[in-house]
C-alpha cells in the first residue's frame, strides 16, 4: 500500500473513530434491515444483525483462530470472540483504533483471547496457514491492490479454512448496462476522495480474482437492498446535537465526510454503489 494512501487512511480513522463510537457505538459498518431493506430497527441492532446474517450466509459454526482484517475499534472481533470462544487477531492501519479495540477487549473480559495490532493488510506480518476463519467487513474498498489483498487473506488461511468478505463495490459492467458513464465515474471519484479509497471494483471482478487465486466453494451475493437504509440513518444521526457538538471538535476530514454522506446514499439509490459479499475456502 502506498505510504501516502496509508497515511490518509490512518489519519482519517484516527480522527473520526471516537466520534463514530460516541454516536453509533463499536460497530463501524453497515446495518442489516431485512432482505428488502424494509425492517425497522435500532441502529446497533441492525449492525449486530448484519454480523449474524453474514455468519448464517457463510455457514460458519465453530472456529478457533479468527483474523479480522480492518478491525476498526474491535466491534466484530469482540462479538466473534464471544460467540465462538475463539482467539481473534485484529489488524488496522489506525493506532487509535488498535488501542481502543484493545481497551474494548479488556472491558469485555477477553484480553487473553483478542489481540490487535497496526498492520498493512497487503503485507500482513502473520505466518501462513494460521487462521481457520478470515473475516473482512468493509475493508476491501480501501485496498489499492485487490488481488494482493485476497492473496494475503488466502495465504494466512489454514487448509480448509473459510474466508468472508463484505465490501463496497460499483455496479457490474454487462452488455446490458454498459461501461460506467462519465457521470458515474465522477460520482465514484468524489466518494474515493472523501473516504480515502483508491478505487472500487464490481463483485464479479472479485469473484474472478478469488477463483484465479485458488479459492474453492466460492459464492457471491449482492445485499445492497438490505443495507441501503443505513446511510440515510447516518445522515439523520449526524444532525443530532451530540454529533454536531462532536463535529465542531473534529478534523476537517471528518467534517467533510459528514457533509458528504449523501454521496453514498445517492450512490445506492441510483444503483451505482453495491454491497457485495464473497466467501470461499482454502483447498
**Model pLDDT for residues 74-108, shown as the tens digit of each residue:** 999 999 999 999 999 999 999 999 999 999 999 99
Are 162 and 135 contacting, i.e. CB atoms less than 8 angstroms apart?
no
Edge-to-edge strand list for the sheet holding 87-92: 114-118, 87-92, 65-69, 131-137, 157-170, 273-282, 215-222
**Would you state the pLDDT for residue 1?**
62
Q: First-to-last CA distance in the chain?
A: 28
Residue 149 pLDDT: 98
Residue 102 structural domain: 3-282
User: What residues does 274 pair with on adjacent strands?
Assistant: 169
pLDDT at 119: 98
Q: How many other C-beta atoms can be found within 10 angstroms of the C-beta atom of residue 265? A: 18
Alpha-carbon distance values, 239 to 234, 247, 262 (Å): 9, 10, 13
The span from the CA of 102 to the CA of 112, in Å, is: 10
The pLDDT of residue 125: 97
Predicted model pTM: 0.94
User: What is the 8-class DSSP label of residue 128?
Assistant: S
How many domains is the chain partitioned into structurally? 1
Indicate the DSSP class of residue 29. S
CATH number at residue 11: 3.40.50.150
Question: Helices (DSSP H) in 66-220: which residue ranges?
Answer: 75-84, 95-107, 146-156, 182-195, 203-213
Counting as low any pLDDT under 50, the low residues of the chain are none
Contacts of 69 (CB under 8 A, 6+ apart): 91, 121, 134, 135, 136, 139, 153
Amino acid at each position: 500500500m502506498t505510504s501516502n494512501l496509508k497515511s490518509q487512511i490512518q489519519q482519517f480513522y484516527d480522527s473520526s473513530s471516537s466520534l463514530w463510537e460516541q454516536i453509533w457505538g463499536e460497530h463501524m459498518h453497515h446495518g442489516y434491515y431485512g432482505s428488502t431493506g424494509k425492517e425497522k430497527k435500532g441502529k446497533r441492532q441492525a449492525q449486530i444483525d448484519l454480523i449474524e446474517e453474514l455468519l448464517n450466509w457463510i455457514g460458519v459454526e465453530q472456529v478457533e483462530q479468527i483474523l479480522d482484517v480492518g478491525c476498526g475499534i474491535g466491534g466484530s472481533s469482540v462479538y466473534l470472540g464471544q460467540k465462538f470462544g475463539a482467539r481473534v487477531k485484529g489488524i488496522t492501519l489506525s493506532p487509535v483504533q488498535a488501542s481502543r479495540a484493545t481497551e474494548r477487549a479488556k472491558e469485555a473480559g477477553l484480553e487473553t483471547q483478542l489481540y490487535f495490532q497496526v498492520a498493512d493488510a497487503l503485507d500482513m506480518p502473520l505466518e501462513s496457514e494460521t487462521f481457520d476463519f478470515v473475516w473482512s467487513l468493509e475493508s476491501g474498498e480501501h485496498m489499492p491492490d485487490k488481488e494482493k489483498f485476497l492473496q494475503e487473506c488466502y495465504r494466512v488461511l489454514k487448509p480448509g479454512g473459510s474466508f468472508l468478505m463484505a465490501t463496497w463495490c460499483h455496479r457490474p459492467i454487462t452488455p446490458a448496462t454498459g461501461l460506467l458513464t462519465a457521470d458515474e465515474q465522477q460520482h465514484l471519484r468524489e466518494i474515493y476522495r472523501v473516504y480515502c479509497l483508491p478505487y472500487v471494483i464490481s463483485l464479479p471482478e472479485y469473484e474472478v480474482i478469488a477463483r484465479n487465486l485458488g479459492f474453492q466453494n466460492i459464492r457471491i451475493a449482492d445485499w445492497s437492498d438490505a443495507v441501503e437504509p443505513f446511510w440515510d440513518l447516518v445522515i439523520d444521526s449526524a444532525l443530532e446535537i451530540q454529533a454536531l457538538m462532536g463535529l465542531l471538535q473534529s478534523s476537517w476530514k471528518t467534517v467533510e465526510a459528514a457533509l458528504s454522506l449523501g454521496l453514498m446514499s445517492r450512490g445506492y439509490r441510483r444503483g451505482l454503489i453495491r454491497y457485495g459479499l464473497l466467501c470461499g475456502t482454502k483447498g
